[in-house]
Structure 1
Amino acid sequence: MKDLAHQSSATVLVVDDQEPKRYVIARALRAEGYHVVEAAGGREALRLAQGGEPGLTFDLVVLDVHLPDLDGFEVLAQLKAHPLTRALPVLQVSASAMDPHERVRGLESGASGYLASPHDPELVATVRALLRDQGQRTERARELAAATRGAQVAQAREQRSQQLLHETEAIIESLPDGVFVGTREGLTRVNSVGARLLGFDSPRQALLDLDSLRLRLHPRDWASGQPLAPAEHPFALALEGDTCVRECVLRNVRTGKDLVARVTAAPIREGDEVVGAVATLTDITEAKRAERELRDAAEFRERLLGIVSHDLRNPLQAISMSAQVLLRGVEGPAGALPEPALRAAGRIAASSERMARMISQLLDFTRGRLGGGIPIQREPADLLLLCEQTVRELELGHPGRTLRYEARCDCRGEWDPGRIAQVLGNLVGNALRYSPPEEPVTITLEGTDTDVLLRVHNRGPAIPPALQPELFDAFRRGAGGAGSGTARSEGLGLGLYIVRQVVLAHGGAIDLTSSEPEGTTFLVTLPRHAPPGPSQA
């Protein structure tokens, strides 16, 4: 704000209809350095004072009481009624003496002072005093306004802070997980869910120091079951600046029962400084219990399958051998068996052979699921020879069917011959089962320097797209074959699962394509040699 007590600052409006008198007043003020604007009448004075000249403002008005157009008191009243000039100081002057009543009227109407017959020294001193008082009032008003604005801003900030605090409290209380906030000295905020999960009667009871909290909760690592050292607890790690997620076992302080919780903790920072930590606690006790029960049930089922299938081998082998003895006895000196007995022995032999295949599949399944994969023994082998042997065996069991095979590459590599024969037998056997009797099954061998590609193709019904992703799953059985006459395929539904496990054990891959016009093709990729790494045994 400019200092109005000094003549270099203020602009004064001098209003008087008598030019000589107006000249004397203006000259005296200009001599003191004030900027003076003159007006000869009341209307002109109001126009100038109330913004009639853009950019022109006044700090004081020297107003003659007796004006020809508007009475000086009327001019004063309009100045005090207008928002632009309400605070403008007005010094009333008169060439003739004013009676006391008029002076009182002027002062009560808002005049800042009165001079009866202004002389230079008195006029200048009065103007200086009025401007100084006006400057001080203006400064006080500005200070008061600034203080008021500051108080209003502070009050608004406090209200907003309280509002945010209430909103934050509401959010924390509405969360389904436990929420814990604190510093190195201890917890400062716990929501109701957190207090309930830990067994406290109220959140206030849980506001403990960290050592007391650890002693009451007995925190342990879920995976190892070992107690957590003070520095290993997620909240302690967060206080050191780390974000941490850990599954812990905590003891309920009221019931003594264990709670399995996923604890997520993060530091609270102000700039670069860690001033606290916040942690959430999710109760996963039931989820972990259900997970363990499912895992235990699966392991029990698979071990049971392995044990049963292994123990069934010995009695089944005895049945099979006895049936073979009966069948061979037809050629012995005792003569032929009766026809009904011969048919019964044949059924026993066929059924025992089918059961042996099932048991072998169950053993392979349990090895794949519990033993880390189906074991293989690599040795030099020729895939073309294995293919020829498989075709001859299947032709004996499927007289009248056409099997074609073709090799377009060197088919030698290092594989497990028995397991590869198992793959070939399953894929070609499925192709025969699921294709019309008049349609051929083709086997094609192609290769690169590193791999041999085996394709088995048939023109049976297309495999539905929805079924294809699940075809290699365990215990997945397809519908009856095109020429089988059965409602569903025989077996346990482990054939393609085992095929895939054998191929994976060789470091290979298996895929299929199936459509009505093109038929179904299984594509097996077998690396010629074992991939780098530990040898398989």
Structure 2
Amino acid sequence: MILRSVVGKLWLTIILLVSIVLIALSLFLNQQVDKSYNRTHKHNLERLANEVKTKHVNLNQVQEVGRIFDTYMVVVGPNGTVDTSISKPSTPQEAEDVLQLVDMNQVRQGKQFTGTGKINSTGHEIMFVAVPYSLKNGAPGAVVFYQQLNESIEEDIKKWILYSALIAIALTTIFAFFLSSRITQPLIQMKKAAEKIARGDFSARVRVREHERDEIADLTLTFNRMAGQLDDLVNMLSHEKEQLTSILRSMTDGVITLNAKGKVIMTNPPADRLLAIFREPGNLSFKATLPPPLKEFFDTVVKEEKEIVGDITEQGRTWAVVMAPLYARGQLRGAVAVFRDVTEERRLDKMRKDFVANVSHELRTPLAMLQGYSEALIDDIAQSPEEIKEIAQVINEESMRMGRLVRELLDLARMEAGHIQMHLSHLDVTQFIQRVVRKFQALARERGVEVTGEVAENLPIVRWDEDKIEQVLTNLIDNAIRHTPEGGAVTVRAFQSGKHIFLEVEDTGTGIPEEDLPFVFERFYKADKARTRGKGKSGGTGLGLSIVKHLVNAHLGNVTVRSQVGKGTVFSVQLPVEVPEEVEAVKM
């Protein structure tokens, strides 16, 4: 691994450069040693030869002195033979071997001949110089001076040069490693700091020595500044992301961000709840595919690159959706969808429209009858007192019906606005039920219906608003009598279960269809849509059960209904034994 690091590469580079330089220097020095060594021998021999040639010194003395310095002499006579009287070679054969190396023709012509060669008899390498020389009798001759080349000294010098180079390389290796480590240490620290930053630790910094202000120190300072700026930027982005996440989580509207391929990349809790509705069973990831309704919106936004507004409905709920394209540097990179649950708003809007339509319908019938019968009186259509009385009776009943409708509308409006004034008092449930039942017995007998009361024993004294609970029972019993045919029965029960009192009104009337049961407590809703009012009969307004529900809720209770067509209906009112005093103090 070290060879792949900066330290190893720098270390090897220095070693290679120094090694190449030292090897080249060693080769050069070896070559110079050879040249210098040979040049020294040659200079000494030539100097000695010139002295003998020019000054005619005593050869015997020269021979004796030369031996001290390992210099030998061979004297050649006119006929080219060795003069043994003066020459003192190591051996006679050596003198012959030396002469074989000399070009005597050049010497006889008065020229100096210098060279090197190998003596065959001994195998020694020699350097020689031959010069012309006049013998004692004046005869021309020659003198050859030679020296053996001492290779051991030359080899020793070369070995020391080699050893010096190896020692230099070894020292260079050590110092190069130390130097490269010292140079690259800040780089290694920057690498470790960069790895920490890559792992998310943006607080990582590299220490800078104050006395080292070189390029690497400047690079380290720049790295620290970059890390600091990156840390600040990440903290700012993280803060903005947390703010955006908090805003999205606190929004009641759902927000979905989509990429260019329609994949969900970000949602808030309301959006998660919406997408969970479209999630297939067993599919825990709603981001795999976009729900079909939203997919249609997304395809339109991508195709037309404009904002789309619309509604989607699923499982009985409605959402208003606004989806707009998202751009990055002029390119479409996705879309963002904002949606709001408008189920209640749509329901209230429908209720408002239905309310206006129902009120108009309920008022139009009595008004038409009042107008028609009043015109009959004006036009003297009724002649007999009985006819006049009958018309007046109808006008009176319709006007009373209109008055009752207006009162119930006002009461219901106050209740829905939260203005129900409670007057709580202690009440004996048994006596209360008996009194209410007696009030309806006369009306029931006229219609051939039997009204009875069934009250459990030992019921506690309750704390209710007597007038409002009586209004609840009045509406329920009146509805039961009107929808029970002649010969039927209406039963009012009261019993206790836990901390609650249950009041039930059961009839044996026509019953309510199962599909109508969830809507019976809505305003103007009438299960018997086909019924008609005959002359002299007053129908319901469709507001009674809605008023019952508001009054029961004001007592912190609950009202339910169960029914079977042709068998009858049971309305059950659940009330606490004692309504808290705080309810009385607050206008509901």
- Larger Rg over CA atoms: 2
- Structure with the higher fraction of residues in helix conformation: 2
Q: Could you say which TM-score interval applies, normalised by the shorter chain?
A: 0.3 to 0.5
With the length of structure 1 as denominator, give the TM-score of the two structures: 0.39
